[in-house]
Chains A and B, each alone.
Chain A
């Protein structure tokens, strides 16, 4: 059965090749069948593998060595696939939600000229994501890690005729590169200390036996730098909001459900290292909670429907890192799993709204859509309630567990951490219901032209929305942290804190409800009440996203450009490199000029030269012999 693991990964690649090479020739129906069929086949293969894993008790992972990449001395680098409980959860999310979003895209992208290119990229993304999830070695994971970055870049800049969108793609790529430098250093450290990159062996080496030559915290922090890039944490989160320039299903698949959770997956996968890295774990938790709160405050004032969701994603990813930072890796993965459903549903719902309004994204020009596009509204509302943490929807369970461990974990939990995370949860509920109200309730603020064309999306889109909404509603009943506990043990909770569990549960319900009520109070009846709030300075600060982009531009971007321009371009490149090369070329040219005078074109002179040459050789040889 293990050989099926390779097929899970390869099938989307086949889709990429077919769609990329033949898609334009064979037309849309071919692209649709290949583009959706192969991810579905991959999902079926993944399902078969996971069932096989469970049938075996899920104690021993399925391993399949697909290819021996390189043998250096006595070290082998293999492309091996590894399916354990953690990978099983991720692979089902990636192929399952991925397939749904492929199907949704057939409706959303139907009118696009580059339909085949779109599906080719999407399949390519799936291939790299599965490589990332199933790889046994950090090296294979890194290939997938870079590959999803590439696919993300290609899809953010999918409409590259628009310079703004192409620039957003570039920003994502460059920002990720910074994180990847940390990731690479982490890999070097691991390889230097242990001589292997297989993650199970690395974990085992840190879990047992004498401590390796490189401290766990060093590895942990370096790998986490990589995770801050891919999973959009402070200080590298700036690319994710701009990544919304891509088509909306791409935002749902890559920038909400799957790729951006790769950092969380990495931390969970390397849990053996992080468990023994107290410092690195607290860095993860602090960065996570700071990002969560910070992004949530920005989301409160955004007016672009996708930007709100983007900041919400950054914030939710922060919460996942909080869980990972306090040692509750299974809970972090649980939130990855529920988040994949409701955030994909929200993004696809937003896509459906944008589709209905012929491209309008500004929530100030929406309103009153509930009756006009009922399926989109109901699914969006369910997903909103889920992310806000209204029981018994999926988000409630995972968020409550995160808050509980942030408070009570014996490995770095503290009331302060809980307080900030709870404030984030409150803000989440508030801005999500604000979004819901401004989009679907109240008076219509659409222009007459747009209002005339409002229509519900085709079945391919609404069906996917319905499935995802259903999963966001019931997904939380799966006790995922418990199932993962054998592999990712939950942190110990001090006995003194156990009696806080129920009060905190009540508090998190109250938080969600008060977010809902707050949003209703400010935006429920008419938007005017929100406008009467006098906090101009704060509002301007939040709207400008704390001027982080501007600061990066001024303190990092411009000095870098200056150094590159003056030092590297003018001195290094133009003077040193070009100067040397041009000098060499000029020397050759002048030398050739002198030598070419001998080439007179007169045969007779050449014969004389030959004669003279032979005479000299003759004399020389006489002297020798």
Chain B
């Protein structure tokens, strides 16, 4: 099996683990970490494909994703902190006030 294909499979596995974590775990922090996992899986696949096609566009996109991920986590963590301060729990189901 090709090394690049292996890397793509790794990316797929990472993404699946992340998605599974977001879907089944209830802890907000764990859900955030799983999201990071999915982002990095995407990064991995981008780099791999950039290498495969011998272009640099994919690699540039990776830096963009880094920045977005950093910004996202910088906002998400304070929000989680504020939520926790109010309800004293990290359980995502505790914050279902807007449900129909």
Q: Which residues of A contact B (CB under 8 A)?
A: 595-604, 607-608, 611
Contacts and interface: CB of A to CB of B under 8 A. Distances in A.
B90 to A, nearest CB: 12
A604 B23 contact: yes
Contacts of B26: 604
B22 A600 contact: no
A596 B92 CA distance: 20
A600 B98 CA distance: 9
A608 B23 contact: yes
A601 B19 CA distance: 19
A604 B100 contact: no
Contacts of A597: 100
Contacts of B22: 604, 607
Contact of A599 (B92, B93, B98): B98
Contacts of B3: none
Interface in B25-72: 26, 31
B96 interface: yes
B69 to A, nearest CB: 18
A595 B100 CA distance: 8
A608 to B, nearest CB: 6
Contact of A596 (B31, B93, B100): B100
A599 B100 CA distance: 5
5 contacts: A599-B99, A602-B99, A604-B22, A604-B23, A604-B26
A598 B100 contact: yes
A343 B52 CA distance: 106
B97 interface: yes
Interface of B: 19, 22-24, 26, 31, 92-93, 96-100
Given A601-B98, A611-B19, 5 more contacts: A597-B100, A598-B100, A599-B100, A601-B99, A604-B22
A596 B97 CA distance: 13
Given A595-B100, A596-B100, A597-B100, A602 B93 contact: yes
Contacts, number: 33
Contacts of B19: 607, 611
Q: Residue among B92, B97, B98, B99 with the most chain A CB within 10 A? A: B99
A608 B93 CA distance: 15
A601 B96 contact: yes
Nearest to B19: A611
A601 B98 CA distance: 6
A611 B19 CA distance: 9
A415 B14 CA distance: 115
Contact of B23 (A599, A601, A607): A607
Contacts of B97: 601
Contacts of B31: 603
A599 B92 CA distance: 15
B24 A604 contact: yes
B100 A602 contact: no
Nearest to B22: A607
Contacts of A596: 100
B99 A600 contact: yes
B14 to A, nearest CB: 16
A610 to B, nearest CB: 10
A601 B99 CA distance: 4
Contacts of A601: 93, 96-99
Nearest to A605: B23
Nearest to A594: B100
Contacts of A611: 19, 23
Given A608-B23, A611-B19, A603 B92 contact: yes
Contacts of B24: 604
Contacts of B98: 599, 601
Contacts of A595: 100
Nearest to A598: B100
B24 to A, nearest CB: 7
A603 B32 CA distance: 12
B92 A604 contact: yes
5 closest A-B pairs by CB: A596-B100, A601-B96, A601-B99, A599-B100, A603-B92
Contacts of A600: 96, 99-100
Contacts of A603: 31, 92-93
Nearest to B96: A601
Contacts of A602: 92-93, 96, 99
Contacts of B93: 601-603
B37 to A, nearest CB: 14
